[in-house]
Amino acid sequence: MKFSVPQTLEKIAAILNCDFVGDAFFPVLGMNEIHVVRSGDIVFVDHPKYYDKALSSAASVVLINKKIPCPKGKALLVSEDPFRDFNILSQHFKPFISAAQSIDPDAKIGAGTQLQPNVFIGPNVKIGENCLIHPNVTIVSDAVIGDNVIIGSGTVIGGDAFYYKKGPEGYDPLISCGGVCIENDVHIGTGCTIDRGVTADTTIGAGSKLDNQIQVGHDTLIGKKCLIASQTGIAGCCIIEDEVTIWGQVGTNSGITIGAKAVILGQTGVTKSVAGDKTYFGTPIQESRSKLKELANLRQLPALLQMLKEK
């Protein structure tokens, strides 16, 4: 997330009431999670295991829970609770806007786009031309939807990320302030849920088609011309490359990559990243030919055991 107006290190420290290491006028341009962080951004880290990753990232400012030597060209914000303070910054720079009507008056809706009854469109939404948005669709906020997009009834675009940290009194959410980008010619079926990014965008590439009842987690990137069947659940921060086919009831771990033109057969558990141009099946996932041979061999096991018993 980029700030609408560039900030300084001193101003950010004042918002958080925390100490800082670096030039008071060090420029701060935005804030992001580690996997999407860029120069000028703040990134947070609250465990020594990940200090090196944060300090060596593209981030210019590291929100950290210990005063340590500051790498050259960077700055530090020293906080008792970086997770909490990252949320404070999210609320400060991207406060929740309560809706006063079903369609935000500032929503941009292109020519030829049809909105069926009971559609909700929140703030900071742009919809392109010749789209069809069916009844009871909710576009929560911060979404860019391209041309010729179809969204089925009851689908929710832009729900909050499922991202929690266990605290002393339960699970604390990381506040979502990212968005959703749906490119041209995408079709999304009935009853789907496309979560917004935490600080960046969840993206569905041009020409992709999603069946009914599909969950797409926060910050996931789905490529162009993908085909995804019903009841698939894609976790957060996944990369689904171009022209991937995913059949029904597939589930993925977070942070995995599925290579271009891969085919994932139904009821597969994608437990790790897989290369493109291959067909996969099973849990844990493996190439389908190997898995099906394995299952065929297992079916012979009772007969083999019986033969051994008879000997």
Closest to 146 in 3D by CA, of 105, 181, 117 = 181
Catalytic residue among 47, 92, 187, 218: 218
Phi, psi of 82 (to 5 degrees): -60, -35
CB burial of residue 29 (10 Å; 0-12, 13-18, 19+): middle
Residue 279, both tokens: 């067909």
Q: Give the SS3 label for residue 155.
A: coil
Task: Confirm if 116 and 133 have CB atoms less than 8 A apart.
Answer: yes
For helices 288-299 and 301-310, give the axis angle rounded to 10 degrees: 30
Phi, psi of 88 (to 5 degrees): -60, -40
d(CA 155, CA 11): 40
Residue 266, both tokens: 């139904």
Residue with tokens 């019986």: 306
Residue with tokens 């576009």: 139
d(CA 132, CA 150): 5
Q: Residue 253 — left, alpha, or beta (φ > 0 → left; ψ -120 to 50 → alpha)?
A: beta
Closest to 56 in 3D by CA, of 242, 197, 185, 45 = 45
Chain length of the chain:
311
Element (H or E) spanning 293, and its range?
helix 288-299
Active site residue 187: no
Tell me which amino acid residue 295 is: L
Could you give the residue numbers annotated as active site?
218
